[in-house]
Amino acid sequence: MTSASPLVAATDIARRDPQHGRWLLHPASLALHGGERLSITGPSGSGKSVFLRALALLDPLDGGHVEWHGKRVARAAIPRYRRSIAYIRQRPALLDGTVEDNLRYPFTLRAYRDLQFERERVASLALQAGRDNDFLDRRASELSGGEAQIAALIRVLQLDPEVLLLDEPTASLDPASSHAIEGLIGAWFDAGTARDTARASVWVSHDPAQAERMSERHLSMQAGVLDEAPLISLDRERATR
């Protein structure tokens, strides 16, 4: 069930290439409600990552605006907005040190000083992802690509964001790691539902089958243009492969 008013609403947000002036993202609008799981598919270079970063207000907009809980996000509110609207990129960077060092790092930042690190909680999240008890003690430099992505996802989930913007989080990962990450996202949604907490996600994927598993609403992107597309199109795309 989705909430009546959107958590996040983008109105005609747009991005240009700062060097050449061409449109990377043509004016795009989106309303994302609590309880909604959305996917975006499209070819490489079509602007999917550009759109997610613009929606997360990580890059300056060349047009349009973003509203959060019905209010336009002012410059001073961007740090709080980014705390709640979390962008998770493909192959995220980890710091030197252990997995636990990486999970503790956000709590050293001003935006999260009101929260406390809970080792039992992150250990439980790691267990949900099929990681052993020693996972938190492992060196980040020793992790496989899938394990590094799991650590990065736990680092975000422990902060209880309202919205996850997932930029191909399982690309180039083995099936077991991909399944673990999908499971973590599913558990995060279920936990929000159990606590009656509004949560939503946008999952960018090249895999139509995964997009269908991880969403109830589908958008497609071509040459920087965002379009609504029915989920049935994913079945057709698979059938033609």
User: What is the number of domains present in the chain?
Assistant: 1
Question: Would you say residue 198 lies in a domain?
Answer: yes
Nearest-angstrom CA–CA distance, 222 and 237: 15
Question: Would you say residue 206 lies in a domain?
Answer: yes
Question: Would you say residue 95 lies in a domain?
Answer: yes
Task: Please report which confidence band the pLDDT of residue 2 belongs to, taking 50, 70 and 90 as the band edges.
Answer: low
Question: Would you say residue 87 lies in a domain?
Answer: yes
Question: Would you say residue 190 lies in a domain?
Answer: yes
126-155: average pLDDT: 93
Question: Would you say residue 1 lies in a domain?
Answer: no
Summarised one tens digit per residue, pLDDT across range 159-208 is 999 999 999 999 878 899 999 999 999 999 988 877 878 899 999 998 88
Give the number of C-alpha atoms closer than 13 A to the C-alpha of residue 204, restricted to the C-beta side. 25
Domain, as residue range, for 47: 6-239
Tell me how far apart the 2 most distant CA atoms of the chain are, in Å: 51
CATH of the domain at 156: 3.40.50.300
pTM exceeding 0.95: no
Summarised one tens digit per residue, pLDDT across range 18-50 is 888 899 999 999 999 999 999 999 999 999 999
